[in-house]
Amino acid sequence: MRRFHLAVLAAVTLSAGLTAVPAHAAPESPSGPVSSPVNCTATACHFDVPPGTYDVQVLLGGETASSTSIGGETRRALLPETAVAAGERAARSFTVNVRTPEGEPTGPDGTPGLDLVLGGTAPALADIRVTPARHARQIFLVGDSTVCDQPGDPYYGWGQQLPQYLRKGLSVANYADSGESTVTYLSDTRLWATVQPQIRRGDLVLVQLAHNDKTTDEATYRANLEALVDGVRAQGGRPVLVTPIVRRWFNADGTLNNGTALLVNGLGVDHPAVIRSVAADRDVPLIDLTTKTKTLVESLGVEASKALYLYNEKRDNTHTSVRGATAYAELVRDELVAQHLVPEGKVRVG
């Protein structure tokens, strides 16, 4: 049985000064304090706030040894599991993006406000406070089902797991959407036309679109990537091109050296190669997730690599399990630090 110790329920508050929405918020903020701002149960908290970007400060721990993780909104991982000794307290903080729809941009609206879920083997929350993030930097994600905030188990996108590795002042705005190609992402008003106006100077925009460009010719694919790059830069943001995660499709020799695994479409368009070329031509940072996931999958081998994907559950060699999404999010995190795209102090490692 999981234990929960709420040491100071009365201290679970929302700042009474919530009168202004941060720059990335959509609607106007209320003119005064938010009414009925929070309700915490043994496993969850709800904050009645408008869309925007918020800093969350928590105090973890209780009278007995505890181990607490925090998720929120559409199954996002926001804080990794943190162990605290009996009688001790540990302060942690993170920044979270609240939006409508709260998960996939073409999905349901979700529930209003900010919803947080307490997990871990022995969760213990002593205090929590949510306030508007005044100077937060966003990492926007433009991608497909392998990146998005997946609404239902057992599916997970790597973008869904990435937030837990970011510290206060840096948040993920995941606008990846299932089934999207470069063509559809640019044409659907709920996608690029919604993302681009929100980009502010200094924001990162990670673009991973390839899995669904099955009938996109090379010239169109290249032009679409360049349009996304130009659109980010026009807003003062910094584009980062990301090659797609591999499909788990082994050759007889235990390698993934085939078009299915490495995302070469039916027209012979080598998506990762085009992405690398555009990145080089336009001087855009590149996260070569194809190469990195290929290395990881091949190192695990045919059997062990099944756990990264949904092979055991769905015979699915494209979409990732929580284990796979987490492993791939860690690869992205490591590249963000290694390429100095985010300050090392803003990232949780280990």
Intra-chain end-to-end CA distance of the chain, in Å:
28
Please report the pLDDT score of residue 294 as a whole number. Answer: 98
Enumerate residues 6+ apart whose C-beta is below 8 A from 148.
103, 104, 141, 157, 159, 160, 174, 176, 177, 178
Nearest to 241 by CA among 187, 196, 283: 283
68-114 confidence digits (pLDDT tens): 999 999 999 999 999 999 999 999 999 999 999 999 999 999 999 99
Parallel/antiparallel/unpaired status of strands 44-47 and 204-208: unpaired
Please report the pLDDT score of residue 23 as a whole number. Answer: 31
Please report the pLDDT score of residue 135 as a whole number. Answer: 87
- Spell out where the chain has E strands: 5-6, 13-14, 38-40, 44-47, 52-60, 66-72, 76-84, 90-98, 114-122, 124-132, 137-143, 170-174, 204-208, 238-242, 286-287, 309-310, 316-320
pTM: 0.90
Please report the pLDDT score of residue 176 as a whole number. Answer: 98
- Report, as ranges of residue numbers, the positions in the chain whose pLDDT lies below 50: 1-37
Please report the pLDDT score of residue 38 as a whole number. Answer: 60
Please report the pLDDT score of residue 333 as a whole number. Answer: 98
